[in-house]
Structure 1
Amino acid sequence: MKITTLVISLTLVSGYAAASDAPVQPTGVMPPSAQLCVSCHGAQGEGIEPLGPRLAGLSSEYISTQLHHFQQGIRQNATMMPMAMTLQGDGIEQVASYFSAQQVKTPVTPVIRGKQVTFADDTARLAYQGDWSRGLPACVTCHGPSALGGGLFPRLAGQQASYIKTQLLAWQDGTRKGDVDGMMANVANKLTAAEVDALATYFANLK
């Protein structure tokens, strides 16, 4: 009994020593695999208009899935496809984890000619209630009550308006794919050009 106890104790001590000697990765440090991303997406994933959208605040699952889609050609983009191909091994997971952990800065409500921008009630209604007469669910049904996203659904709040618009248009013309059961394509194709503009601006300025 004493011998067994001694063996267990030595094993625990040995394991503790090994864990203590292992190098600790500092949190918040950019992995080398993410360094190519910063020229378009910013060092903290804040996005650089018009080069690249905001990555901060997106879930690691969403970022990882989109990078795989670029690698597999499911999602087409002349810049992102070769960039994604540079990520080998656990590179995708490192990039996804780093940018998803970055803090999202609150966007400033724009002021035009001394007045804050306001949005039509129809836009907010479409975002939060949808339009079931056209088979349009509310945007927040999938993207969360505050449009913060989660899982495979990206954050919309604070994202660049130009990026949201180009993605909705991409869903409409079929150049973006990979959505489950064609859900986003179905939604986007029911939006008018004016609604695309209004929703993009609304979510970009949502605090």
Structure 2
Amino acid sequence: MKFGFQINLDVKDRPCIVVGGGDEATEKTNRLLEAGARVTVISPTLSEELKVLAASARVLHRGRRFKASDVDGGIWLVINTVLTDDVLSRDLYNLAKQKGFLLCSTDQPEYSTFTMPALVARGPLRIAISTSGVSPALAKRLREDLEPLFDERFEVFLEWLDAYRAHLQSTEPHIEKRQQLLRDAVAKVKLHAKIEFPKVEKKAEQKGM
């Protein structure tokens, strides 16, 4: 099992491709757009939301299947959301190795050079959840349970923190005191959670599934 190195990528103004036009492609496209990427969606068909994005020129749409020439010209990152075409996934992986672009094939870590964690997003808050490819379904399930905890009231709190930090940076010259005031501001933030899951045997004790 491989454990990835968690980072946040700056994709602002970077040329990126999303292969596929369904719900998964829609979600990944929106995440790239939110981060400022220049997105091309390659798929014969599009979800209704992607049609709107294409019609408003927020994304470039190529209404056909992916071709190897699509990654010519400095493509930086490709997200493949097509789950039913192993040949496509394998060809994309080989291209990524040859040309050096980043590749994520949804639910196919063996055909990826990076994976995308499930993401809890509220205002500027980002909580990434990864199982290192063991179970994307579990990562999604955890995200669904965590999302309701961070509601609109929490977003207001984040906005206040941002303004408070900016205020201290302009009014408090002493770094240590400023850092202490910021720690005090979040001292009462508590996350109370309980997790339930099926009881299973340890790996060494498993005799069969």
TM-score, normalised relative to structure 2: 0.24
TM-score, normalised relative to structure 1: 0.24
Greater RCO, 1 or 2 (C-alpha within 8 Å, sep 6+)? 1
User: Which structure has the larger Rg over C-alpha atoms?
Assistant: 1
**Which structure has the highest helix share of the two?**
1
**Which structure has the highest strand share of the two?**
2
